[in-house]
């Protein structure tokens, strides 16, 4: 199941008022994935993906916090990071997704690897994505 499918699944289960908008956007992206974006759609297509990622992350975070499906959230976060890396210049989105991933995954090694990857392709994101306390620093060095 790809990122868009996961977003649709999460949005369908979500009770938040923003979910219908996310669901519509995810369904539209799914259609574009099936049909393939035209040359004129390319820019908007990637912008929509980047716009969808943080919103979908909110839903995934809520699902994980409720312990509905931790494995689903971890897998989807990996996909989200790949989507965000389409535009590494978007430091804020990249950092936000990386930091949220770190918090959601209970400081797991996988989350730290996501943060490390974030910092590695964007110097401006390094401070934002870096460890925040001594214990985190030790884990960071272990990687």
Domain boundaries, the chain: 3-142
- For the chain, counts of helices (H) and of strands (E): 8, 0
Residue-wise pLDDT for 6-36, tens only, equals: 666 666 666 666 666 666 666 666 665 556 5
Kindly report the length of the chain. Answer: 143
Residue-wise pLDDT for 54-99, tens only, equals: 566 565 555 555 544 555 555 555 555 555 454 444 545 555 555 5
Per DSSP, the residues of 36-89 read ---TTTHHHHHHHHHHHHHHHHHHHHHHHHTTS-HHHHHHHHHHHHHHHTT-TT
């Amino acid at each position: 199941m790809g990122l868009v499918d996961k977003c649709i699944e999460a949005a369908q289960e979500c009770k938040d008022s923003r979910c219908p908008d996310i669901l519509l956007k995810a369904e539209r992206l799914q259609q574009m994935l099936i049909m393939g974006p035209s040359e004129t759609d390319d820019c908007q297509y990637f912008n929509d993906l980047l716009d969808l990622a943080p919103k979908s992350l909110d839903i995934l975070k809520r699902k994980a916090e409720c312990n509905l499906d931790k494995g689903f959230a971890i897998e989807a976060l990996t996909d989200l990071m790949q989507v965000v890396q389409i535009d590494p210049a978007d430091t804020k989105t990249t950092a936000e997704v990386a930091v949220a991933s770190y918090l959601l995954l209970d400081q797991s090694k996988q989350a730290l690897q996501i943060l490390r990857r974030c910092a590695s392709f964007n110097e401006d994101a390094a401070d934002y994505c870096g460890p925040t306390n001594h214990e985190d620093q030790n884990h960071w060095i272990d990687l």
